[in-house]
Structure 1
Amino acid sequence: MSDIRRQGGCLCGAVRFTVSGQPLRTGLCHCLDCRKTSGSTFSAFAIWPRSAYEATGKLGTHEGRSFCPRCGSRVASLRPDEAEVMIGSFDEAPTDLAPQYELWIGRRETWLQHLPWAEQFEHDRDDMQPV
């Protein structure tokens, strides 16, 4: 694992987290759930092994998405093997984490151009596919 450690948290600071090393993959999602939970036209995220994610503070969870119950900021989606972290929740802009793929491209706003270097998926990606 690399020496990279990234820190972030929620808007009010009640939830703090650190991820270590490089993510397994990064992406954008245009699905309705991501649009509704982010309040934006898409969500940007990066996924680390669950063992690379550490957090302090209490998280609320709704359908697998974790957020700060105090300020409502969406922070992560935690699974037994992976931690999906919202890129906007980092303290420092992670400009080196360019999305490798886009999900639910049929819902992408027509005024947004696709990412020419990123793999495109009509719906969710098959988790068995390497990126």
Structure 2
Amino acid sequence: MSDVRTGGCLCGAARFRLNGLPLRIGVCHCQDCRRTSGSAFNFFGVWLRSAYEGTGQLGTFAGRSFCVTCGSRVASLRADEAEIMLGCLDEAPSDLIPAYELWIGRREPWLLNLQWAEQFEHDREAAQDGGAASP
């Protein structure tokens, strides 16, 4: 049986379902993620795009999708991948452990690095995925 997760925005107008396990899980400290999340960092998981099913209307700005009713950032949907803001999951994502951190130079000094996670000064290396750099 496959792992199924559900989630959505604050008001419930935008909902999604994810089938299977994420390809990767990370934390990003870049300024864009800080601004769009309103937090010191962003905690996200990336699934195959085919594993994502969504309902409700999403708006998009700079590749980041959000509920058009409440403005909650939900995902970044690309042709091949769906990056999900893990705080949007219905169940706490306690079993999803970040394997890497991005933009570590912007990490708050009071926030310790994830000692088990791979550390990147900026975005992940393009060579790791055989393509463009991505979260």
TM-score by length of 1: 0.96
TM-score by length of 2: 0.93
Structure 1: tracts of 5 or more residues without a match = none
Write the distance in 2 (CA, Å) between the matches of 1:47 and 1:73.
18
Root mean square deviation of aligned Cα: 0.9
Letter in 2 for 1:61: T
Q: Percent identity?
A: 67
Alignment of 1:1-131 (within 5 A): 3-129=2-128
Secondary structure of the equivalent of 1:95?
coil
Write the distance in 2 (CA, Å) between the matches of 1:3 and 1:129.
26
Deviation digits for residues 67-93 of structure 1 (CA, Å, limit 9, x no counterpart)? 001101000000000000000000000
Write the distance in 1 (CA, Å) between the matches of 2:72 and 2:126.
26
For these two proteins, the number of residue pairs brought into alignment is 129
Runs of 4+ in 1 over 6 A off after TM superposition: none
In structure 2, relative to structure 1, the CA distance for the partners of 1:121 and 1:49 (3 Å cut) is same
Write the distance in 2 (CA, Å) between the matches of 1:41 and 1:128.
28
Write the distance in 1 (CA, Å) between the matches of 2:31 and 2:90.
26
Structure 2: tracts of 5 or more residues without a match = 130-135
